[in-house]
Amino acid sequence: MPLLVMKFGGTSVATLDRIRRAAKRVGREVAAGYDVIVIVSAMSGETNKLVGYVEETSQLYDAREYDAVVSSGEQVTAGLMALTLQEMDVPARSWQGWQVPLKTTNAHAAARIVEIPTDNIMAKFGEGMKVAVVAGFQGLGPDGRVTTLGRGGSDTTAVAFAAAFAAERCDIYTDVDGVYTTDPRITDKARKLDRIAFEEMLELASLGAKVLQTRSVELAMRYYVRLRVLSSFEEQSDEAGTLICAEEDIVESKAVNGVAASREEAKMTLISVADRPGIAAAIFGPLSEAGVNVDMIVQNISEEGRTDMTFSCPINQVARAEKALGEAKSAGDLNFREILADTNVAKISVVGIGMRSQSGVAAKMFKTLSDEGVNIKVIATSEIKISVLIDRKYTELAVQALHDAFELEKA
């Protein structure tokens, strides 16, 4: 039998009624001749509630027990989904991560998938099971303890299962009906994309698009898993949602396919750093060790052997960055006059695989922002992306102007 992976997020299984609606979708795929692996998240709000219980019980909690608690949300959903399918006369059973077993590293609360043996589930398909309902987000560590994959980990679970079982496709059901050219809450001209390349989706996910977890897109790109993002609240046609696929599956791409905005950014500048070989390593080594995720980097022109170094990072990592750099200065590994942190910035990015073959994207982006009176603080580019830091108060204006300039409302 051909095999399909279907993943239902928290809002899609938030109530028993929504679980029934999701189960009907699964039943239709079974009737169409598929064996189905269903990956489920915890019911909406459940994981936050469980995390709250842990934090209220112990501020310095054991990460292994944290995983034992928070993984239970997905187990409940898996059991309820299997029961619902059974009531529909669809042969189904639930699987917890350790029963598969989905093997992971030992990094509790942030484990990575090592292996998904297919023998156990395939044996049950051979015995007549039509649907395996698997608890997402969880696995089994080398010490035999339950692990979790980090928030949003059910997306990663779904893609990993699709790769391991060579599924025909992996359908991700969520509360949006696909991937849009930009956030529809910012401009009503945002258009749903029928297809988007893995690389473009990876950039958009890393830039703040909440549709898919970044790790899941990385996995899909590595193993060529065809992903489809669909709404669990709307009736679907065969062409519904957005297909995330290899670049060669897209006939011709526009220079820009999406505009992303992230308000959770900060710009940090080290004033008067010694301009010498190894200074970048002296700055970014401690930041890496402290777990600070550095993105854009700019070094100013040197004057009298001193320079300024600017970089961006998530706003919630500013204190961690200041502490790491302060400790490096105290230890004598780094010398600078002061650290300036600007937490009132936003990162605006245009993304498109068409940039590889079409020129003028940067010029058009910069002129558009200039015409709107938006000053650019930092610029960073890659093969298919251009990002800028601007004052946060101009976020909506910048997104709307760029969306119009690149005519993204047109197919």
- pLDDT at residue 236 in the model: 61
Helix H or strand E encompassing 82: helix 72-87
Q: Decide: 206 and 40 in contact? Cβ < 8 Å.
A: no
Residue 225, SS3 per DSSP: coil
Listing DSSP states for 106-149 in one string gives: S-TTS--EEE---HHHHHHHHTT--EEEEETTEEE-TTS-EEE-
Q: Is the pLDDT confidence value at 123 over 90?
A: yes
Residue located via tokens 């004052």: 391
Measured CA to CA, the distance from residue 410 to residue 404 in angstroms comes to 10
- pLDDT at residue 156 in the model: 95
- Global confidence as pTM: 0.83
- pLDDT at residue 208 in the model: 62
Residue spans of alpha helices (H) in 243-372: 279-289, 318-330, 361-371
- Across residues 165-193, what is the average pLDDT? 92
- pLDDT at residue 237 in the model: 59
Please report, as a single letter, which amino acid is at residue 71. S
By the 10 Å C-beta count (0-12 exposed, 13-18 middle, 19+ buried), 357 is classed as: exposed
Q: Decide: 174 and 9 in contact? Cβ < 8 Å.
A: yes
- Across residues 203-213, what is the average pLDDT? 77
- pLDDT at residue 239 in the model: 62
Q: Each residue of 3-59: pLDDT tens digit?
A: 999 999 999 999 999 999 999 999 999 999 999 999 999 999 999 999 999 999 998
Q: Each residue of 363-389: pLDDT tens digit?
A: 999 999 999 999 999 999 989 999 999
For 333-350, b/e burial (b = at least 16 CB within 10 A) is ebebeeeeebeebbbbbb
